Structure 1
Amino acid sequence: MSLRTISVVALCVLLAACSKVNQDNYSKLKAGMPKAEVESLLGSPTECSGAVGLTSCTWGDQKSFISVQFAADKVMMFSGEGLK
């Protein structure tokens, strides 16, 4: 293997290990938490959608994710799957 290939593989492993989508951060979520605080904890969401003061945002991918529903930028409900 070339040094470049080894570097790329090492970087991918490091980035995967640093994911903010994990059980520890999920346990820090609370109803009523401001959206800005959730983004500070989890980073920028992978996807958001909504209308008329209601928003649903997801962090992660199909295997491991945290989904949060906001009303007026405050956490109403949240769920997670595949968290480690």
Structure 2
Amino acid sequence: MRPSRQTLSITALAVLALLLGACTKLTAENYERLKVGMSYAEVKALFGDPRGCSDLLTVKTCTWGDENRHVTVNFVADQVVLFNGANLK
């Protein structure tokens, strides 16, 4: 008996979701590479494009990930001064 089209579609979507999840740059290993003094470009190379950034006075704050699993980095003069992460493991 051959699998139905719907079964094949669901299987393909599941495989795609697993592959996309495995390709994330938001990992505990990359978080450990994050250091005070790194430039915005270096952090972007490490984690990819941020979900969003905001500026307040001289501090630029960028977040990678979502409300459940994320890294937040504060930059002053394009250098990391403070960072934190949640649920990376």
| Alpha-carbon displacement from aligned partner over 1:16-74 (angstroms, at most 9, x marks no partner) | 12211111000000101000000001000011111443200000111110000000111
**Counterpart mapping for 1:44-83 below 5 A:** 44-83=49-88
Bigger mean CA deviation after superposition, 24-33 or 3-12: 3-12
2:29 maps to 24
1:14 maps to 19
Task: Indicate the structure (1 or 2) with the bigger Cα radius of gyration.
Answer: 2
Pairwise CA RMSD? 1.1
In structure 2, stretches of 5+ residues that fail to align are 1-5
Equivalent residue for 1:37, pick from 33, 42, 55 = 42
In structure 1, stretches of 5+ residues that fail to align are none
Bigger mean CA deviation after superposition, 69-78 or 3-12: 3-12
Q: Distance in 1 between matches of 2:60 and 2:88?
A: 22
Q: Distance in 2 between matches of 1:31 and 1:9?
A: 38
**TM-score, structure 1 length as denominator?**
0.92
Residues paired across the two proteins, number = 84
